[in-house]
Amino acid sequence: MSADETYTDGGRPYADAATIRRILRDSGDTWAVVGLSGNRSRAAYGVAEVLQRFGKRVVPVHPKAETVHGEQGYASLADIPFPVDVVDVFVNSELAGGVADEAVAVGAKAVWFQLGVVDPDAYGRTRAAGLDMVMDRCPAIEIPQLGGRA
């Protein structure tokens, strides 16, 4: 295993450097952040702020459908009335697979499961549908390492 890869589940790569770079640089700038609410103490709030600082449009997805960081929130991915490029998932692993399936259904280009969010079956389904996917990593940690604007 190289320093640029993270392996789990018998050696399958879930976070290789090329995929991370492709999602952050080439997949598009509209990121739906599932689990993002106005609660400033939650990790999603701070990560969304970093994504915005690097030029990403952050769309909050949460049952409360709150406006966060100046962006209108939606109760579900299906409620967003415009295309989403990347779905960033801040729900627990038991719920994350369903969100990945919704991301495929709405035509997202990539799915990003946050630190601690792991579902190997969802990874397989999402990749089989042709989407890029990263699990158990944080874009707020990765994006500054790309240097400059993502």
The average pLDDT across 78-87 equals 98
pLDDT at position 147: 67
Residue 15 or 28, more confident: 28
pLDDT at position 145: 85
CB 120 within 8 A of CB 145: no
Q: What is the value of pTM for the model shown?
A: 0.90
Summarised one tens digit per residue, pLDDT across range 114-139 is: 999 999 999 999 999 999 999 999 99
CB 94 within 8 A of CB 120: no
Which residue in this structure is represented by tokens 């709405």? 106
pLDDT at position 122: 97
